[in-house]
């Protein structure tokens, strides 16, 4: 059993590769390094540098490395930026997924775990998001992920593809000091950058209808997320049935204010965050149920908020010292 991990040099992808390794399962990484880093790929793991838009490269990769299935994480992941770059977003996330599916069919690779997103829901009007919550994406990124799910479902009907899609919420933390979140848009890197630069982190709005007035979101540890991918792959490999989609959520959100308190504690840097005006379109609360994933993918929150912060900070400090 060996699996191809597209985007395996990224923050999440590199954790997925390590989760496979922990179970004794070989992987091959394909990544164009547009946002990933080759240093994140474990030593000895076969690495192919290139894009999922390159159909010939994909065919060659499947010929060189016979695999049982694919974990597909490669794509353009910045929802906010996607509004300014819709064509790029669709090319990377829709055309790229279509090209990958075609190469998989040609190679006879019929198992796929797809990296989807909470962005498919847009701004839900429910306290707890389930897989049945209406999909109303509000960015080209969210739309592209939903279209990706549709493409995969249609290919499953046409070609017998065994698949599941995992909808991520807010992924944080680190499972190893070798890999950290390098996104310029995610909360933890933004807060760490501010502290390391001697600036005060900022909260956008403290007058929401939440316990402390700040937005509540669903934060999950990247190592827990990675483990769920391996279980999904193992179940597909065994021919066991899976739902077409799963939310990987905590069922219980954390406020931005609580994040700031945990960061101050975890870093040892005392600060009082600046309060800025609300950002347009920010809902007060987005929290998801992970019940289906708990039933089928051994999904559970194995890390506390303090552990999420501590692991992320340790990885960031390790990177700064290299």
90 noted as active-site residue: no
Rounded to the nearest 5°, which phi and psi values hold at 248?
-105, 85
d(CA 35, CA 42): 17
Q: Which residues contact 74 (CB under 8 A, 6 or more apart)?
A: 6, 7, 10, 13, 30, 31, 32, 51, 52, 92, 96
Please count the other Cβ atoms lying within 10 Å of the Cβ belonging to residue 289: 20
Q: Which of 119, 117, 100 is nearest to 109 (CA)?
A: 100
Q: Count the residues in the chain.
A: 322
Q: 245 and 164 in contact (C-beta within 8 Å)?
A: yes
Question: Which tokens go with 80?
Answer: 């906010």
Q: Which residues contact 87 (CB under 8 A, 6 or more apart)?
A: none
Catalytic choice (11, 121, 141, 246): 141
Place of tokens 């890999």: 179
Annotated catalytic sites, by residue?
141
């Amino acid at each position: 059993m060996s699996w191809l991990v597209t985007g395996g040099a990224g923050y999440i992808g590199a954790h997925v590769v390590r989760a496979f390794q922990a179970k004794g399962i070989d992987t091959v990484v394909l990544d164009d390094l547009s946002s990933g880093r080759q240093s994140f790929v474990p030593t000895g793991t076969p690495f192919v540098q290139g894009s999922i838009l390159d159909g010939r490269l994909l065919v060659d990769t499947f010929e060189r490395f016979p695999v049982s299935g694919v974990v597909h994480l490669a794509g353009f992941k910045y929802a906010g930026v996607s509004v300014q770059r819709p064509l790029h977003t669709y090319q990377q996330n829709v055309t790229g997924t279509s090209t990958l599916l075609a190469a998989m069919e040609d190679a006879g690779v019929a198992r796929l775990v797809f990296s989807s997103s909470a962005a498919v829901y847009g701004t839900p009007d429910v306290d707890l998001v389930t897989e049945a919550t209406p999909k109303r994406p509000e960015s080209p990124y969210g739309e592209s992920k939903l279209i990706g799910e549709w493409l995969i479902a249609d290919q499953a009907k046409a070609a017998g593809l065994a698949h599941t899609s995992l909808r991520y919420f807010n992924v944080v933390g680190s499972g190893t000091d070798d890999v950290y979140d390098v996104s310029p848009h995610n909360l933890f890197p933004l807060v760490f950058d501010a502290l390391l630069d001697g600036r005060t982190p900022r909260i956008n709005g403290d007058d929401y209808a939440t316990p402390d007035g700040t937005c509540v979101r669903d934060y999950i540890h990247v190592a827990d997320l990675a483990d769920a991918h391996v279980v999904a792959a193992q179940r597909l490999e065994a021919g066991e049935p899976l739902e077409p989609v799963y939310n990987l959520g905590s069922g219980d959100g954390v406020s931005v204010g609580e994040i700031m308190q945990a960061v101050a504690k975890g870093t040892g840097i005392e600060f009082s965050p600046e309060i800025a005006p609300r950002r347009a379109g920010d809902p007060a609360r987005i929290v998801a149920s992970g019940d289906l994933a708990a039933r089928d993918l051994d999904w559970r929150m194995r890390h506390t908020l303090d552990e999420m912060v501590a692991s992320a900070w340790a990885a960031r400090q390790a990177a700064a010292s290299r």
